[in-house]
Amino acid sequence: MSEPTVHVPVLLEQVVRWLDPRPGQVLVDGTFGGGGHARALANAVGPTGLVIGLDRDPAALDAAEQSLRGRPLKLVQTNFCDLPETLKQLEIDAVDGVVLDLGLSSDQLADRNRGFSFSVDGPLDLRFDPMSGEPARRLINRLSVEHLTELISRYGEERYSPRIARAIVARRHDRPIETSAELAELIRSVVPRTPDAQRIDPATRTFQALRIAVNDELKSLEIALRRIPDCLRPGARLAIISFHSLEDRRVKEAFLADSRLDVLTRRPVRPDEREIAENPRSRSAKLRVAQRR
């Protein structure tokens, strides 16, 4: 049996307020994770409505079968950029709202077998779907210094990417890097400590870069931003929570450039001090919302 979820949904009250779910509506949580947003939306649409929960991670959906049983939910293992195909399979023409939370769930971070967290040692995998793609440990043990440098710089916006890439290649001459703790300690040994080091671990940006690369996250987001508006009824809303500038910039620019959408949040909605104190992982969250014309 799956472990109960420990995930705390980010910006939950704000997402519900902006999507404004009503009884009988059909909504989509495209990044189901621990099911926090989906649970609140399902309660709002009631037994005559439906929330479609999508996730690439089969473990998240398996856990939800237990914790959310009895609610008006339909769970599908798929990438949110494939929403049009999912709706076609379900014989649904359009939906009344979509939420995407682009961050990791607490359940994924706590899973020792995935390597998402460098504070919990485990195999360096980082894949959302463990049956698809190349695990991060294989990636870092085969790429050249140049390619590692470019990957960590592009997806992690890491100023010390050349130094980290050289250290990875030097270490693997002795033995392959296999675990999240091995990689994190190696990065910490070569990255200078900065004033914000107590708040942001030196390994954070490199792990972000590897996770984005392994899961092709930015490509999925770009495809979704093009395709999801056509899945919305007129007046339906698309709410997206991002956690770093690479995502937020794409969301902001896509919303502004899309003639199908009206932007409702000129500035991103941020968590308040109370939420940050209760859930420190929310501190970098930004919510942007647009409405289908």
Could you report the per-residue pLDDT of 64-120, keeping only the tens digit for each? Answer: 777 788 899 999 999 999 999 999 999 999 999 999 999 887 666 667 677 787 777
Assign 1 a pLDDT band (cuts: 50, 70, 90): very low
Residue 3 lies inside a defined structural domain of this protein: no
Considering only residues 195 and 1, tell me which one the structure prediction assigns the higher pLDDT: 195
> Mean pLDDT over residues 203-222, rounded?
96
> Mean pLDDT over residues 146-155, rounded?
98
Assign 6 a pLDDT band (cuts: 50, 70, 90): low
User: To which H or E segment does residue 53 belong?
Assistant: strand 50-55
Residue 196 lies inside a defined structural domain of this protein: yes
What does the pLDDT read at residue 235?
98
Q: How many domains does the chain have?
A: 2
Residue 2 lies inside a defined structural domain of this protein: no
Residue type, 208: Q
**Containing structural domain, residue 157:** 117-217
Looking at 166, 195, 217, the residue that finishes a domain is 217
Sheet architecture: strand order including 232-242: 73-77, 50-55, 26-29, 95-101, 232-242, 286-292, 261-263
State the Cα–Cα distance between residues 150 and 171, nearest whole angstrom: 19
Asked whether residue 23 falls in the same domain as residue 102, the answer is yes
What does the pLDDT read at residue 92?
98
What does the pLDDT read at residue 187?
97
State the Cα–Cα distance between residues 214 and 217, nearest whole angstrom: 8
Asked whether residue 221 carries a pLDDT value surpassing 80, the answer given is yes
Asked whether residue 62 falls in the same domain as residue 122, the answer is no
pTM: 0.93
Residue type, 131: M
Asked whether residue 143 falls in the same domain as residue 87, the answer is no
Residue 144 lies inside a defined structural domain of this protein: yes
Asked whether residue 25 falls in the same domain as residue 95, the answer is yes
State the Cα–Cα distance between residues 20 and 44, nearest whole angstrom: 9
Percentage with pLDDT > 70 across the chain: 94
Give me the helix-helix angle, 145-156 and 161-172, nearest 10°: 140
Give me the helix-helix angle, 161-172 and 180-190, nearest 10°: 130
> Mean pLDDT over residues 203-228, rounded?
96
Residue 170 lies inside a defined structural domain of this protein: yes
| Virtual torsion, Cα 7, 11, 16, 18, nearest 10 deg | -150
> Mean pLDDT over residues 225-248, rounded?
97
State the Cα–Cα distance between residues 179 and 55, nearest whole angstrom: 25
Q: What is the mean pLDDT of the chain?
A: 92
> Mean pLDDT over residues 156-176, rounded?
97
Assign 188 a pLDDT band (cuts: 50, 70, 90): very high
What does the pLDDT read at residue 106?
63
